[in-house]
Structure 1
Amino acid sequence: MNIDPFLVEQIRSASRTMVRELGFMQATLAGTDYSPSAVHTLLEVSVQGVMTAARLVQVLGLEKSSVSRMIARLIEAGELEESSDGEDGRTKQLILTEQGKRTVSEIHRYGQMQVTAALAPLNLSRQQTVAQGLSAYAEALQAYRSGAMQSAPGQIQVSEGYRPGVIGRVTEMHATFYSRHSGFGQFFERQVATGLAEFAGRLDEPCNSLWLATHHERIVGSVAIDGQDLGNNEAHLRWFILDDGCRGGGVGRRLLEEAVAFCDRQGFDAIQLWTFKGLDAARRLYESLGFELVHEEQGNQWGTAVTEQQFTRRRNPLATPCAAHNI
């Protein structure tokens, strides 16, 4: 998978900022007298109930000697204590002391205060974007370290058809992205909402369909095939959009593959889509699925001058048309 170098640098810069703002550059963390690795040790033991030193080495990704010294300091400080494994007396298990449990409670209180204060100025959509993006990135980093790199958004589901809230949510994603990328404003948002609302009334037609990507029941991506508005037995691919936290993980390809397969089954001669120059990641995805750039020109119909592009994908001659197709 090709990754946009600019996106990589954005993530690296954001990661450095988070490290500084969360206090990882300091000698102690989370309002305690302990180092970041010691704080994480207490949290991991709290989550697991009991842990061995060997397991901590795996989880924290630290040297065995460093973990051993850190455990010794936490035991001496009264935060941890060792107990013997019932099956193997040679294996020592680590558990929190009562003092350790109080320390962990204070760490959680401190962390919750930090996150709550940081999210407070953001609206609900932006808060959810932060949570989804961080979760996906954390899963990807963990999978990479374990040597089993897989698509991070594995919990994202792709389904076909209408669901409540789709018009407002898909409009919101378009308005947010294109405002930032192309400077589009109220007129563009209104056009998206109006067109999508009209299309939703035609979803019962067999030549029209809509696919949605959802994460914990929240819509995070969409694409639609309108088989009626172009005529000439050509399908119109519309409203392809992904939430900020879901790009680059294969969700967009899954959505487009569903749409393209639908068009082949329906027997459309071609699929048309219109987009704007500069969306390089999306263009590479379109071209990988057989779309070709057939026309581009300057336009300002959305209130801002952009280079509009038309892509076309001709039907695979081996695809079998669906007998139920009717425009």
Structure 2
Amino acid sequence: MDMVAEVRAFNRFYTEVIGVLQAGLLDTPYSLTEARVLFELGTRDAAEASALRDLLDLDPGYLSRILTRFEADGLIFRERSPEDGRRQVVRLTDAGAQAYGILDDRSAAEVRTMLAALTDEDRRRLVTSMATIRGLLDADDRREPYVIRPPRPGDLGWVVHRHGVVYSQEYGWGTGFEALVARILADYADGHDPRREAGWIAEVDGAPAGCVFCVRKDDETAQLRLLLVEPSARGMGMGRRLVEECLAFARHAGYRRIMLWTRENLTSARRIYQSAGFVLAERHDGEESGEAVVDEIWTRDL
């Protein structure tokens, strides 16, 4: 495969898809570069001209001509920086904000139209692939290598399946544990109050790789349940992030404390809970698949 030719072919294809080569982007009088300048100004109160130049990697003379045109059209006004009189600060006028709003609305509508032609699965594949491209080519892209989202149809079955497989492989727990997970999720699915209970799925490259749930224990106490991170996704900080989501939700839902049940031999999970502020409250002897285990209750105030 000629990789250079493949990349160039993709570039040609995508510029055609988004209409970069049209005289006016999104049926407006603005070129792609002019639209980018408007977008950057529209997403902040003000920007120094030098910052715009560096952000968009523009020739100073070219940017100056764009700003001069915008000023003549009443889209921007320029003033000296109060910190340094040698710098120019650029702001949108009301007309400029209206022009930015038109561009933003049309861009969003165009993307929605493009996505509407795809299935849910293809939309996820597309967005994941775009994130992969950005992550590989942008050294400054610091986004986490996963996304966290609410459960979708089919996810609860995945949670049961992966708990059964992972805990069987790593700890030798049998179908009784898998049945317990299924009962927990059946209770959650049957009638949970979305104001007080929620779940999250962590996704890597479009596929589930982790989960956690926050359920009601009583009016003042939430319970963190079913934290799982796939072995292939460990080391990304996913478990910690899932616990943070659960804690933030529990606070917002009005709980005063949160608790969880775990086992002494689940050392990685226990470290996550401890670093999140949970403290060990109770220990009890238990049994799983014919083997002795130590059950633990951990709690923390919210």
Amino acid at match of 1:47: M
Q: 1:48 and 2:4 equivalent?
A: yes
Q: 1:158 and 2:114 equivalent?
A: no
Structure showing greater relative contact order (alpha-carbon pairs closer than 8 Å, 6 or more residues apart)? 1
Query: Residues 126-179 of structure 1, C-alpha deviation per residue, up to 9 Å, x if partnerless?
Result: xxxxxxxxxx9xxx9x99xx998967x62x21013x311122100111111211
Q: 1:294 and 2:250 equivalent?
A: no
> Following TM superposition, by how much is the alpha carbon of 1:302 offset from its aligned partner in structure 2, in angstroms?
4.9
From the superposition, tell whether residues 210 and 150 of structure 1 become closer, same or farther in structure 2 (CA, over 3 Å).
Answer: same
Name the CA distance, whole Å, in 2 between partners of 1:197 and 1:308: 23
From the superposition, tell whether residues 291 and 149 of structure 1 become closer, same or farther in structure 2 (CA, over 3 Å).
Answer: farther
Query: Residues 182-220 of structure 1, C-alpha deviation per residue, up to 9 Å, x if partnerless?
Result: 211111111211221221122344111111112343221
- Structure 2 residue matching 1:311: 3-state secondary structure: strand
Q: TM-score, normalised by structure 1?
A: 0.48
Q: 1:211 and 2:211 equivalent?
A: no
Q: TM-score, normalised by structure 2?
A: 0.52
Match of 2:272 in 1: 285
Give the counterpart of 1:242 among 219, 229, 254: 229
Match of 2:107 in 1: none
Name the CA distance, whole Å, in 2 between partners of 1:181 and 1:206: 35
Query: Residues 213-247 of structure 1, C-alpha deviation per residue, up to 9 Å, x if partnerless?
Result: 123432211111111xx225111111111112111
Q: 1:314 and 2:297 equivalent?
A: no
Give the counterpart of 1:181 among 170, 173, 180: 170
From the superposition, tell whether residues 212 and 299 of structure 1 become closer, same or farther in structure 2 (CA, over 3 Å).
Answer: same
State whether residues 149 and 202 of structure 2, in contact with CA within 8 Å, keep that contact through their aligned partners in structure 1. Answer: yes
- Structure 2 residue matching 1:184: 3-state secondary structure: coil
- Structure 2 residue matching 1:290: 3-state secondary structure: coil
Name the CA distance, whole Å, in 1 between partners of 2:189 and 2:198: 9
Query: Residues 255-302 of structure 1, C-alpha deviation per residue, up to 9 Å, x if partnerless?
Result: 111110111112212111111112222212111111011122221055
Amino acid at match of 2:227: F
Show structure 2 runs of 5+ residues with no match: 7-131
Counterparts in 2 of 1:75-154, with a 5 A limit? Answer: 154=145
Name the CA distance, whole Å, in 2 between partners of 1:185 and 1:243: 18
State whether residues 173 and 242 of structure 1, in contact with CA within 8 Å, keep that contact through their aligned partners in structure 2. Answer: no
Name the CA distance, whole Å, in 1 between partners of 2:155 and 2:281: 31
Name the CA distance, whole Å, in 2 between partners of 1:296 and 1:256: 21
State whether residues 148 and 203 of structure 2, in contact with CA within 8 Å, keep that contact through their aligned partners in structure 1. Answer: yes
Match of 2:180 in 1: 191
State whether residues 175 and 185 of structure 1, in contact with CA within 8 Å, keep that contact through their aligned partners in structure 2. Answer: yes
Name the CA distance, whole Å, in 2 between partners of 1:147 and 1:208: 38
From the superposition, tell whether residues 233 and 149 of structure 1 become closer, same or farther in structure 2 (CA, over 3 Å).
Answer: same
Match of 1:225 in 2: 214
Show structure 1 runs of 5+ residues with no match: 1-42, 51-135, 316-327
State whether residues 182 and 306 of structure 1, in contact with CA within 8 Å, keep that contact through their aligned partners in structure 2. Answer: no
User: How many residues of Structure 1 are paired with residues of Structure 2 in the alignment?
Assistant: 177
Q: Percent identity?
A: 32
Q: CA RMSD in A?
A: 3.0
From the superposition, tell whether residues 199 and 147 of structure 1 become closer, same or farther in structure 2 (CA, over 3 Å).
Answer: closer
Amino acid at match of 1:192: V
